[in-house]
Amino acid sequence: MADDTDAELVVRAREGDVGAFEALVRRHLRVSYGAALAVTGDAQDAEDVVQEAFFRASRRLDDLDPPAKFLPWLLAIVRNHAHDVRRRRRVRATDELHDDMRADGAAVDPGRSAERDELRRRLVDAMATLSDVQREVLLLHDVEGWKHREIAALIGVAEGTVRAHLFHARRAMRASLGTELLEG
Amino acid sequence: MHEERLDLSSIELEPERRELLVAAIMARAASGLRARRSARGVLVLVGMWRRPVIAASALITAASVAALLLGSGTAEAVPVATADLYDALQLEQPVREWLSEGRGPTMVDLVSAVEDGF
């Protein structure tokens, strides 16, 4: 299943193959989560967004054309839902419960070190300043390890455009965070 | 351009959270996916029966037309058909012939009529 293309997995998932859909989930969970987290800025919200996005995708597989475009299609669902969640959260920003959750990070994720939490918060804040396409190119390249030409084919732009998006995204991230936090 | 990859590992899900999230997604999606498999089974079944059903429908249609035409030919109350009446009803030539001969169409008549663009 790991060697199957997205298109092959989508075709099988459309026929009701649960394992094929799970393979798609596992393959694209990381980048979806990163994209959701960068928009919502909250780990729990990002998990909820990703869960809802994959669920919606499973219901709308017949709308996807061509099947090879599963990832950009999924990321569009993630992005739209994440923006909705962020808007709703802004509306309820004065909600007392929400304020308590934000103030008490340990209640959301008790096992995580404070240092990691702080780094994540700063990364998420920095990624929130990027455009959607810059953020997704950055995640695909630096988290998922995709090549420029693969990203270009996926999102339907020239390879040079992908390089430019990546360059500007990294520059913005370094400007926000400093190089010492970011070099892999 | 700066080609150094950024270290974004701290925004990734921890393995146990990742597995929980996969499980939660699949718990929600599985029933819909299984329903797709069932629906597909029904469609395959319908596909297997489609041709016999179409053939049977064609036979029933032909038999119904024949019965109607024969019935109208023998009914006492029906006035004698004339060329003017046929014209008024805009009947095609094969139908005029069947009516004037007082019979319904045979299968050969029907096939011929269809091939002639009736």
Determine whether the interchain pair A184/B34 forms a contact, defined as Cβ–Cβ distance below 8 Å. Answer: no
pLDDT values of chain A reduced to their tens digit, one per residue, 184 residues: 778 999 999 999 999 999 999 999 999 999 999 999 988 988 999 999 999 999 999 999 999 999 999 999 999 999 999 999 988 887 766 554 444 444 444 455 555 567 777 888 888 889 989 998 999 999 999 988 899 999 998 888 999 999 999 999 999 999 988 765 666 5
Q: Is the peptide bond before A66 cis (omega within 30 degrees of 0)?
A: yes
Residue of A nearest to B30 (CA): A18
d(CA B15, CA B18): 5
Residue of B nearest to A143 (CA): B8
> What ipTM was reported for this prediction?
0.78
Q: Residue A74, class by beta-carbon neighbours within 10 Å (0-12 exposed, 13-18 middle, 19+ buried)?
A: buried
Pick the residue of A21, A48, A124, A148 with the most B CBs within 10 A to test the interface with B by mutation.
A21
Task: Show residues of chain A in contact with B36, CB under 8 Å.
Answer: 14-16
Write down the pTM of the prediction: 0.64
Pick the residue of A10, A11, A24, A33 with the most B CBs within 10 A to test the interface with B by mutation.
A33
Of A14, A50, A163, the CB nearest to B21: A50
